[in-house]
Amino acid sequence: MTDWTPYTARAKEWFESLRDRICAEFEAIEREAGSDATFTFTPWRREEEGNPDPGGGVQGLMKGKVFEKVGVNVSTVKGNFSKEFAGQINGASAEQPGFTATGISLVAHMANPHVPAVHMNTRFLTTQAAWFGGGADLNPPLPYAEDTEEFHARFRAACAAHNPTYYERFKKWADDYFFIPHRGVHRGVGGIFYDHLECTDEAAFERNFAFTRDVGDAFIDVFPRLVRRRMGSEFSPEEKQVQLEWRGRYAEFNLVYDRGTLFGLKTGGNIDAILMSLPPEAVWS
């Protein structure tokens, strides 16, 4: 069986470097808007009985003029799933519940309803299997076709550089996943979502790691452009109300259906970091 420890370390280093680049870019946008907002970084340590090295992470949070609330978290944890939860995870079982996981997770809720909210995460997990997953999806309260196309085009290009089937497969996966069944609506205008890109050997790890890095690069390339395009737009009280109602739908999805939320809660993650995806303000009409 492959010792994935050095590979996990490489992935962790990349996720941390991506976080640093994203946070610097978001702080630069705040400066352009005349704000001095910066990220606050709060380390946390996971606890697991009988585990001397359960890992932990760093929660990054900023509340500014453009980014009403944005969280950029990196965590690296290891331990054992509960027997009940292990059976739901690729490569784990009640008899072999051990895991490691490292990843970056980002959610941005914007002050201006014309600026789309966004979600992005990439991760590397090992059980008896090893795989990458992640993606990004755009969540505008007031959609613009131009923004939607530009977002998708950037991820289409990232996918095409690795596999001609990736974009259509992963776009459909996002469309199917980011859907609110009890409302009968999608959470946003989609993006890509992928999981279980298996690393059966070193070569497979390198291929999937390269793709995952390109997903992160695509995000930091396209999303700040959309923010700068819309952040100076005038908006009405009615448009703000649309945003607040849309945020209620976003919260419903993350609390009822999101697998990442469930994973964090089931593995003893930091509650504040897990729930950083929730909007700072929302309404239910």
CA–CA separation, 217 and 180 (whole Å)? 28
Top-confidence residue, 194 or 271 = 194
Tens of pLDDT along 63-73? 999 999 999 99
pLDDT score recorded for residue 94? 80
Eight-class DSSP state of 116: P
Average pLDDT over residues 272-280: 91
Query: Across the strands, what pairs with 67?
Result: 110
Average pLDDT over residues 231-242: 98
Burial class (CB in 10 A: 0-12, 13-18, 19+), 204: middle
In the sheet that holds 67-80, the strands lie side by side as 40-45, 55-62, 67-80, 98-110, 117-126, 130-139, 190-198
pLDDT score recorded for residue 91? 78
Tens of pLDDT along 181-233? 999 999 999 999 999 999 999 999 999 999 999 999 999 999 999 999 999 99
Eight-class DSSP state of 87: T
CB neighbour burial string for 12-31, b if at least 16 within 10 angstroms, e if fewer: bebbbebbeebbeebbebbe
Hey, CA dihedral for 10, 14, 17, 23, is it positive or negative? negative
Average pLDDT over residues 144-168: 98
> Which residue blocks in the chain are alpha helix, DSSP H?
5-32, 83-86, 145-160, 166-177, 202-230, 237-256, 259-266, 271-274
Tens of pLDDT along 88-119? 888 778 888 889 999 999 999 999 999 999 99
Q: Is 196 a catalytic residue?
A: no
* In the chain, domain spans: 5-32+41-277
282 in Cβ contact with 248 (< 8 Å): yes
CA distances from 216 to 42, 231, 281 (A): 22, 22, 28
The two most distant CA atoms of the chain are separated, in Å, by 59
Per CATH, the number for 5-32+41-277 is: 3.40.1500.10
From 114, 119, 152, 186, the catalytic residue: 119
